[in-house]
């Protein structure tokens, strides 16, 4: 058996044993599994996965579980037989093995539509919570597709959490129609033993406005891909905050594809690393030949609290148009000693001073969260997580 | 018993010795001015007293309220009543002035076995002290010192001192960068805090400040040593004849001459 076959064999057993709840999905799943089997799990020889070794996932025999979720979507509509929205041709050419694997096990995707012109007041909330598994670790493959039609507006909150060791392999697609305004949040608070792989793909129509905020706190091994493809005059914001300690590993790959002229994009990813944690940021910006007058700004800032934590950060600009403005910058720094001393000189203990400054570093990402309840919740979660660092 | 007793204090940054044998005694209620050329070690002395890690004390001792000050962490010194008004107050983006000051006050109160102030009482206290310093309340809601003008930063230091009510205040060039009106306000704020229980060490280059904050003693620091001490008239004498009149040259000039 080849290495790939060895790794995919256990998945094949799961695949053949399971039938989807909705029979029309079978054809799609077959194509997807075939694609997954062709690709196999990526290795660190693959440039896209250079710093993230998924061998621990590849070596584990999981039990595939249904990706059950709780959803609140007042003002949006569920598309029944939503799987029909998936594109079989695209699947056959899918470059990402995890996306193919996700499609192969897609059972009950969450497919929603926000009708043309609708302004959805309450955020659409989709929550995945993985219960502790039995004999084998569980693998779940959440799949979300949200079509926001022209001039509609909504906020989307995805949440991921769980107990014990398991794999979440999530794929979210968002299609924002012409003039749509979509505010997307992804809160990842997986267990400390969990593997979490996620792919976000947003396609923006003309003049659509899309912003995504990825808050990553949990997981042992985490890889997030967040991609946005822009049309003429569309505006994309990709923000992220990752806080890792202990032996956590997180890899954030983003791709902003300016396919058409007059697009703007803003990207701020901030990381806080402690212990022996490792993090990767790879920010690709593509400006296609047509995409004149593109304005794009990318920033990645990292606060490294220990000597052993490691961050690899890399901007990747592919600019094929000539009349564009693209800026990027990355920083890796420690806590400001002067500021620490200033706080201490006013009676604030060293530990508290450190967490105050660390929290302050993350503050601007939190300030951009427009859903108040979520902001409150995250402020608490952050304080808790930073308290772990202090220990 | 003296509040502060510095004996033959030597301190270095890296390999370089900056304080080269300081002796100074400050009793409760006294105001001591420290003057001296640029680079003579005034801020170093202030920093050593506040517990800045950058400076390494190589020999000597400092007793504060009878305790070994040098063995205490900076935050414990503050809790025990030491306050340093920084020559260059630090900007801390993302930490609100209000939150910061409340946290500081409550740790200090806790140390004094006083109950924590709730939001309402704290706000009342802060309002009263802001009035004293003629400070805009808007500054409170901004991040600590961030984007403050030079004068606003200095005012904010004395405002913090007014709220925290230290036993020993060390003011490092609080007057520099202030226009004459601001100087008067800041000095007024400082004077309002003068009391028989509160001592102050006022570092300055200018007699002007000492017209407002009249010191009990004036010391001249040069090349890491106190080379002359006297009453308030020493500052006047310095104003007239400069350090050269005392046979002291600016360190930079001295280096040039070697
Ligand atoms: N972090 C540092 N690294 C190296 N040298 C330092 C450092 N801090 C201070 N020094 C040196 O120590 C000496 C004393 O500095 P200090 O700031 O105490 O002087 P000062 O008397 O406060 O001067 P000024 O009147 O300009 O404020 C100077 O020569 C300065 O260059
Ligand atoms: Mg100085």
User: A309: Cβ–Cβ under 8 A, 6 or more apart, which residues?
Assistant: A244, A273, A274, A275, A276, A277, A278, A279
pLDDT band at B240 (very low <50, low <70, confident <90, very high): confident
How close is the Cα of B68 to the center of ligand 2, in Å? Answer: 25
Q: Is B50 inside any structural domain?
A: yes
What is the rounded average pLDDT of the residues B162-166?
96
Cβ(B39) to ligand 1 under 6 A? yes
A339 and A325 in a single domain? The answer is no
Give me the pLDDT at residue A1, please. 44
A329 and A346 in a single domain? The answer is no
Q: Is B223 inside any structural domain?
A: yes
Residue of A nearest to B146 (CA): A339
Cβ <8 Å between B92 and A364:
no
A326 and A363 in a single domain? The answer is no
Q: Left, alpha or beta for B94 (phi > 0: left; psi -120 to 50: alpha)?
A: left
Give me the pLDDT at residue A87, please. 78
Q: Which of B103, B105, B148, B169 is the mutation pick for testing A, counting most A CBs within 10 A?
A: B103
Q: Which of B44, B74, B104 is the mutation pick for testing A, counting most A CBs within 10 A?
A: B74
- pLDDT of residue B198 exceeding 90, the answer is yes
How close is the Cα of B219 to the center of ligand 2, in Å? Answer: 15
For A87-105, how does the pLDDT look when each residue is reduced to its tens digit (9 = 90+)? 778 888 999 999 999 999 9
**Average pLDDT of chain A?**
93
What is the rounded average pLDDT of the residues B132-155?
91
What is the rounded average pLDDT of the residues B137-164?
93
Cβ <8 Å between A346 and B100:
yes
A328 and A364 in a single domain? The answer is no
ipTM of the complex: 0.94
Here the CATH number for the domain that contains residue B218 is 3.40.50.300
A382 and A295 in a single domain? The answer is no
Number of separate domains in chain B: 1
Q: Is B174 inside any structural domain?
A: yes
Q: Is B231 inside any structural domain?
A: yes
Set of chain B residues whose Cβ sits within 8 Å of the Cβ of A349: 75, 107
- pLDDT of residue A156 exceeding 70, the answer is yes
What is the rounded average pLDDT of the residues A159-180?
97
Tell me the two tokens of residue A375: 């902001």
Give me the pLDDT at residue B258, please. 38
Q: Look up the domain containing A376 and give its range.
A: 335-391
Phi and psi at B134, nearest 5°, equal 50, 50
- pLDDT of residue B250 exceeding 70, the answer is no
Q: Which of A13-27, A76-90, A360-374, B156-170 is predicted with the least confidence, judged by mean pLDDT?
A: A76-90
Give me the pLDDT at residue A108, please. 83
Q: Is B141 inside any structural domain?
A: no
Q: Look up the domain containing B14 and give its range.
A: 4-89+167-257
A74 and A165 in a single domain? The answer is yes
Q: Which long-range contacts (CB under 8 A, 24 or more apart) does B21-26 make?
A: B21/B60, B21/B224, B21/B225, B22/B60, B22/B221, B22/B224, B22/B225, B22/B226, B23/B226, B24/B219, B24/B226, B26/B2, B26/B168, B26/B199, B26/B201
Structural contact between residues B63 and B71, judged by C-beta atoms closer than 8 angstroms: no
For A322-332, how does the pLDDT look when each residue is reduced to its tens digit (9 = 90+)? 999 999 999 99
Tell me the two tokens of residue A280: 């990767």
Q: Is B41 inside any structural domain?
A: yes
Give me the pLDDT at residue B249, please. 63
A140 and A270 in a single domain? The answer is yes
- pLDDT of residue A386 exceeding 90, the answer is no
A276 and A348 in a single domain? The answer is no
A344 and A234 in a single domain? The answer is no
Q: What is the DSSP string of A98-116?
A: HHHHHHHT--S-EEEEE-T
- Residue B47 CA, closest ligand 1 atom number: 18
For B87-141, how does the pLDDT look when each residue is reduced to its tens digit (9 = 90+)? 999 999 999 999 999 999 999 999 999 999 999 999 999 999 999 888 888 888 8
Give me the pLDDT at residue B245, please. 75
A249 and A378 in a single domain? The answer is no
Residue of B nearest to A366 (CA): B94
Number of separate domains in chain A: 2
| Among candidate residues A309, A334, A359, the one where a domain is terminated | A334
For B24-61, how does the pLDDT look when each residue is reduced to its tens digit (9 = 90+)? 999 999 999 999 999 999 999 999 999 999 999 999 99
A361 and A237 in a single domain? The answer is no
A235 and A364 in a single domain? The answer is no
Q: Is B77 inside any structural domain?
A: yes
Q: What is the dihedral of CA B54, B59, B64, B68, to 10 degrees?
A: 90
Q: Is B36 inside any structural domain?
A: yes
Distance CA B69, CA B74 (A): 9
Tell me the two tokens of residue B31: 């105001």
């Amino acid at each position: 058996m080849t290495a790939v076959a060895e790794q995919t064999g256990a998945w094949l057993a799961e695949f053949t044993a399971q039938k989807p709840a909705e029979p029309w999905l079978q054809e799609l799943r077959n194509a997807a599994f075939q694609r997954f089997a062709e690709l196999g799990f990526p290795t660190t020889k693959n440039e896209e996965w250079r710093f993230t070794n998924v061998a621990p996932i590849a070596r584990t025999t999981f039990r595939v579980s249904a990706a059950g979720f709780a959803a609140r979507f007042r003002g949006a509509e569920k598309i029944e037989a939503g799987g029909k929205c998936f594109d079989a041709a695209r699947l056959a050419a899918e470059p990402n093995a995890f996306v193919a694997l996700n499609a192969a096990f897609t059972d009950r995707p969450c497919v929603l539509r926000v009708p043309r012109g609708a302004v959805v007041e309450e955020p659409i909330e989709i929550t995945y919570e993985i219960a502790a598994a039995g004999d084998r670790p569980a693998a779940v493959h959440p799949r979300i597709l949200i079509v926001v039609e022209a001039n509609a507006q909504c906020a989307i909150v995805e949440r991921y959490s769980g107990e014990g060791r398991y794999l979440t392999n999530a794929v979210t697609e968002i299609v924002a129609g012409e003039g749509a305004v979509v505010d997307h949040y992804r809160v990842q608070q997986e267990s400390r033993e969990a593997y979490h792989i996620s792919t976000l793909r947003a396609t923006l129509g003309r003049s659509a406005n899309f912003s995504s905020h990825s808050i990553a706190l949990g997981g042992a091994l985490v890889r997030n891909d967040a991609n946005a493809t822009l049309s003429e005059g569309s505006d994309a914001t990709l923000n992220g905050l990752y806080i890792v300690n202990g032996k956590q590993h997180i890899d954030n790959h983003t791709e902003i594809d300016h396919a058409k002229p007059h697009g703007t994009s803003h990207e701020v990813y901030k990381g806080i690393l402690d212990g022996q944690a490792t993090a990767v940021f790879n920010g690709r910006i593509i400006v296609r030949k047509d995409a004149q007058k593109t304005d794009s700004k990318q920033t990645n800032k990292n606060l490294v609290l220990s000597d052993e934590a490691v961050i690899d950060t890399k901007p990747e600009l592919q600019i094929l148009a000539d009349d564009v403005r693209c800026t990027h910058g990355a920083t890796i720094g420690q806590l400001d000693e002067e500021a620490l001393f200033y706080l201490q000189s006013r009676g604030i203990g060293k530990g508290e001073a450190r967490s105050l400054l660390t929290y302050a570093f993350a503050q601007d990402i939190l300030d951009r969260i427009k859903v108040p309840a979520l902001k409150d919740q995250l402020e608490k979660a952050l304080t808790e997580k930073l308290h772990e660092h202090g220990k | 018993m003296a509040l502060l007793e510095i004996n033959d204090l030597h301190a270095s940054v890296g390999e370089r010795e900056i304080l080269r044998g300081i002796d100074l005694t400050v009793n409760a209620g006294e105001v001591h001015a420290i003057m001296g050329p640029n680079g003579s070690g005034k801020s170093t002395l202030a920093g050593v007293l506040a517990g800045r890690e950058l400076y390494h004390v190589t020999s000597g001792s400092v007793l504060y309220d009878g305790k070994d000050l040098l063995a205490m962490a900076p935050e414990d010194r503050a809790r025990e009543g030491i306050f340093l008004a920084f020559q260059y107050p630090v900007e801390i983006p993302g930490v609100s002035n209000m939150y910061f000051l409340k946290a500081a006050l409550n740790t200090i109160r806790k140390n004094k076995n006083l109950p924590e102030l709730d939001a309402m009482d704290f706000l009342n206290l802060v309002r009263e002290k802001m009035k004293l310093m003629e400070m805009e309340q808007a500054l409170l809601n901004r991040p600590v010192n961030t984007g403050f003008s030079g004068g606003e930063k200095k005012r904010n230091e004395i405002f913090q001192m007014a709220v925290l009510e230290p036993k020993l205040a060390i003011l490092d060039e609080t007057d520099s960068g202030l226009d004459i009106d601001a100087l008067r306000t800041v000095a007024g704020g400082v004077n309002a805090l003068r009391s028989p229980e509160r001592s102050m060490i006022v570092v300055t280059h200018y007699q002007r400040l000492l017209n407002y904050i009249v010191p009990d003693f004036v010391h001249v620091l040069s090349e890491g040593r106190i080379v002359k001490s006297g009453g308030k008239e020493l500052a006047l004498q310095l104003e007239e004849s400069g350090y050269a009149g005392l046979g002291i040259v600016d360190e930079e000039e001295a280096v040039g001459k070697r």
